[in-house]
Amino acid sequence: MGLGVCRRGSPAQAGDSVTGARDTAHKARELLRQGLDPITERDKAKEAGRQTEQAIKATKARERWTLARCAREYHERAIETTKTTKHAAQWISSLENHIPADLWHKPIGEIEPPELLQALGGVTAHERARRVDAGTRVAETVQRIRQRLDAVFEDAIFHKRCTTNPAAAVRRKMRETLPKKKVGQFAALPYREAPAFMARLRQTPGTAARCLEFAVLTAARTQEALGAAWGEVDLDAATWMVPAERMKASGKDRPEAHLVHLSARALEVLQVQAGVHETIVFPSIVKKDAEQSNMAMLAVLDRLGVRERTTVHGLCRATFSTWAYETAAARPDVIEACLAHREADKVKAAYNRAQFNDERRALLTAWAAYLAQQPAQVLPFAARAA
């Protein structure tokens, strides 16, 4: 076993080296008397020292990785490269503007669920004071912030910058305290106001406006209209076949392709879009070879001053459904078929293979005529039956 370096630069150095060697030899003999290998014990001490040093370095590194630094690093790497410029800016600004400074600049590994929940509660209070409609919108804002924090914490765990995700831990507590969102109910424009709105919409330029008009005319869901492709459209037959993979599934049911009959005005909208993009009917003007974001049509509603009164889903589907039922424009089965709703009665659904093609085409033609304030060419089904 080596006992250290012998320094011979001067008599004093040599004396200190000998003294140190004697002390080391004495400690080694003591260990031997205890039945311990002095070399093994020396290596253990060195390893313990290395681990302590690494722990200190890791602690300093974690202290440098604040919530702000982790969020901005994740945003730069995962959000800016995949989202539009506008969405990416909104993503990080929502955190910078709503998370308190003391929490925002705190080491991410030291943030506890209760303090994060308190911070999100502060967002709720701020939004309630700022907004007139301090209900669903508040819940949506806070949930969106929590979801973004959840992504940041998960990424930090992956890169060993923290060990827990408080954003996930507060999820249940938020459901207990936030305003409850009414499930299945979408704000919708009264159908009597729809013709006047559509007249303004037809005068609004832009791909997003044409997409919204097309969605209203076809009673389509938002994602169905946004993802419309030229390969799904048959202009000669005046039909649009929405593939099963883009249709909404119901429970455990597998989605089915949905045939939409196109009115004359819907065909005109498609003709306006012809040549804009090779495959996408309503392409994004921001991101090449991509469909528009789901915020595009909301921006149109905002521009026309009705965003506080209706959602896109409500305008396209609830307004149409209310009009069809209240005016008895068609049989209920036909209305539900136009909306691509599944038959609730499983036995009836198994035997009912009727597609109501002629009646569905007539219903959407009547809807387009109503929106254009032209006399409808079909009578309500009750009058026809009489």
CA atoms in the 13 A half-sphere facing the CB of 270: 25
Q: Round to whole Å and give the CA distance between 268 and 216.
A: 14
Which stretch of 177-191, 254-268, 365-379 has the lowest confidence by average pLDDT? Answer: 177-191
On the question of pLDDT at 249 being above 80, the answer is: no
| 315-363 pLDDT, tens digit each | 999 999 999 999 999 999 899 999 988 655 444 444 444 567 899 999 9
Shared fold status for 67-177 and 191-385: no
Q: What does the block give as tokens for 157?
A: 């765990």
**What's the confidence (pLDDT) of residue 87?**
84
Please tell me the distance from the alpha carbon of residue 334 to that of residue 181, in angstroms, as a whole number: 30
For the segment 20-66, what is each residue's pLDDT rounded down to a tens digit? 899 999 999 998 999 999 999 888 988 888 888 887 776 666 568 89
pTM score, two decimals? 0.54
Rg (CA), the chain: 34
CA distance 343 to 167: 39
d(CA 195, CA 323): 12
Q: Which of 147-161, 178-192, 351-365 has the lowest mean pLDDT?
A: 178-192
* Helix, strand, or coil (residue 181): coil
Q: For position 124, what pLDDT does the model report?
A: 58
Whole-number pLDDT of residue 327: 92
Which among 309, 299, 308 has a CA at the least distance from the CA of 193? 309
The residue-averaged pLDDT of 233-254 equals: 79
What is the C-alpha to C-alpha distance for residues 85 and 134, in angstroms, rounded to an integer?
Answer: 28
Listed in order, strand segments (DSSP E) in 17-138 are: none
pLDDT more than 90, % of the chain: 53
**What kind of fold does domain 191-385 have according to CATH?**
hpI Integrase; Chain A (1.10.443)
* In the chain, where the domains are located: 67-177, 191-385
CB 197, CB 189: distance < 8 Å: yes
Fold of 67-177: DNA polymerase; domain 1 (1.10.150)
pLDDT band for position 191 (50/70/90)? Answer: very high
Q: Alpha-carbon distance 59 to 161, whole Å? A: 10
Give all strands (DSSP E) within 217-266, no chain letters: 233-234, 239-242, 258-261
Mean pLDDT value across the chain: 84
Place of tokens 């827990």: 164
Q: What is the pLDDT of residue 183?
A: 46
Which residue has better confidence, 165 or 352?
A: 165
CB 171 within 8 A of CB 344: no
